[in-house]
Amino acid sequence: LPLPARRLRVWLNNGTFTPSSLAQCLQQCYHDLLAKARQDDVYVEDLSVLPNFASEGQCQMEPSDLQEHVAVGGTFDRLHQGHKVLLSCAAAIATKGLVVGISGEPLLREKAAATYLQSWGERARAVAAFLALQRPDLTLRLEELQDAFGPSLWPQLGALVVSAETDAGGHAVNEKRRALQRRPVQLLVVPLVQSNQGEKLSSSALRLEDEVHLAFWR
């Protein structure tokens, strides 16, 4: 039988990164660690790979990629490694503050298996707990998204981190900012993380798995 579920944190030390190279490194770490866990028949319930930006960790970002205030958004349901890579990259380039927009009810109505979504509070707590591990020094704000823009229109923002799937939304943000006569933000696109089956890692798929599991055991 497989060993009991485990929570595993791995610190990434040394190296100078761009957002793209950091994303690729983190994705590879998640992939290799989970592959090793499967090989050893160990179920890892919660895996976090964390760039160590403390002085002893000696991880750093290219100075040209740093911004004082950074935003990132998403649903962040059942926080998985795709979310964690996105959040890690956003936290890595922020020097003062990070705002995370978390989808509220108006943005959730068309989600697959929406009835199985975690509450906004549950999702927000998971995001805050993860970011506190990596960058406890950052000023963190969690905002409930009621539309596609939310805090991405705040004047002080310097960068917006998006996934490859939401890249178009990032360009829409800059169009809206120009219309409001605000400086466009730097867009940083993080590649999608694949599941063990080679497909895009998706919270919707995880919710559907839960739905099938619950239906089976009723």
In tens, the pLDDT along 164-182 reads 888 999 999 999 999 999 9
- Predicted TM-score (pTM) of the model is 0.86
Alpha carbon distance 216, 29 (integer Å)? 34
Please report the pLDDT score of residue 170 as a whole number.
95
Please report the pLDDT score of residue 210 as a whole number.
46
Looking at the predicted structure, is the pLDDT value of residue 208 above 50? no
3-state per-residue secondary structure call for the chain: CCEEEEEEEEEECCEEECHHHHHHHHHHHHHHHHHHHHHCCEEEEEEEEEECCCCCCCEEECHHHCEEEEEEEECCCCCCHHHHHHHHHHHHHEEEEEEEEEECHHHCCCCCCHHHCCCHHHHHHHHHHHHHHHCCCCEEEEEEECCCCHHHHCCCCCEEEEEHHHHHHHHHHHHHHHHCCCCCCEEEEECCCECCCCCECCHHHHHHHHHHHHHHHC
Asked whether 173 and 152 are in contact (CB, 8 A), the reply is yes
User: Greater confidence, 167 or 112?
Assistant: 167
Alpha carbon distance 44, 8 (integer Å)? 7
Q: How many CA atoms lie within 13 A of 84 on its CB side?
A: 27
Alpha carbon distance 84, 126 (integer Å)? 10
Query: In this predicted model, what pLDDT tens digit does every residue of 84-95 receive, in sequence order?
Result: 999 999 999 999
Alpha carbon distance 138, 129 (integer Å)? 13
Please report the pLDDT score of residue 218 as a whole number.
45
Q: Which residues pair with 143 in a beta bridge?
A: 101
